[in-house]
């Protein structure tokens, strides 16, 4: 539900308070780092943090749309670090295989080379480009976790 607040920007775009609210939300609630939160003690320990796979899928999908459509500002521009930190935990294969992070990185490279981006969109693209190796490494960690889980079953 809370992620919808970030990804459903078109619904709130005309509200003068939306940018400030989403900035506060990202800073105070979402943060820069995904972490798994558990409750209870073994053997009844249960993860209560939401799995991030669908969130990562939506981030990449919206980032591509923003860059393709020259969107000046979107709340995802505040969430790059969270995206990178969540990728290794994006284990739900229903969405993991649909996360178009390579397409996103390729688009960023092309659009930066064209020199047509400006403002906050340019800053977003530059930040993504600067985190390219971190994104690739985070994805690979997730792949290794999935492979290890496959061997255990």
Q: What is the pLDDT of residue 1?
A: 54
Q: What is the pLDDT of residue 153?
A: 47
Residues 6+ apart with CB under 8 A from 152: none
Mean pLDDT, the chain, as a whole number? Answer: 91
Residues 128 and 139: their CA atoms lie apart, in Å, by 14
Least confident of 17-26, 62-71, 78-87, 127-136: 17-26
User: Which domain does 145 fall in, by range?
Assistant: 2-152
Looking at residues 95-112, what average pLDDT do you find?
A: 96
Percent of the chain with pLDDT over 70: 97
Do 62 and 76 form a contact (C-beta atoms < 8 A)? Answer: yes
The DSSP string of 50-110 is PPSHHHHHHHHHHHHHHHHTT-S--GGGG-HHHHHHHGGG---HHHHTT--HHHHHHHHHH
At 114, list the tokens: 């064209």
Residues 34 and 26: their CA atoms lie apart, in Å, by 12
Looking at residues 113-117, what average pLDDT do you find?
A: 97
**pTM greater than 0.85 (yes/no):** yes
pLDDT class of 2 with cuts at 50, 70, 90: low
Looking at residues 11-37, what average pLDDT do you find?
A: 88
Do 121 and 72 form a contact (C-beta atoms < 8 A)? Answer: yes
Number of domains in the chain: 1
């Amino acid at each position: 539900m809370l992620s919808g607040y970030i990804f459903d920007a078109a619904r709130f775009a005309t509200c003068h308070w939306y940018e400030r609210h989403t900035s506060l939300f990202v800073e105070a609630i979402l943060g820069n780092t995904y972490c798994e939160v558990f409750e209870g003690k073994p053997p009844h320990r249960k993860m209560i943090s939401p799995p991030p796979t669908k969130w990562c899928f939506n981030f990449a999908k919206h980032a591509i749309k923003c860059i393709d459509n020259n969107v000046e500002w979107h709340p995802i521009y505040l969430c790059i670090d969270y995206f990178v930190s969540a990728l290794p935990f994006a284990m739900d294969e229903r969405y993991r295989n649909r996360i178009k992070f390579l397409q996103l990185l390729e688009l960023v490279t092309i659009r930066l080379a064209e020199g047509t981006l400006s403002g906050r969109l340019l800053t977003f693209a530059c930040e993504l480009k600067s985190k390219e190796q971190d994104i690739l490494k985070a994805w690979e960690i997730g792949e290794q976790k999935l492979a290890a889980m496959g061997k255990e079953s």
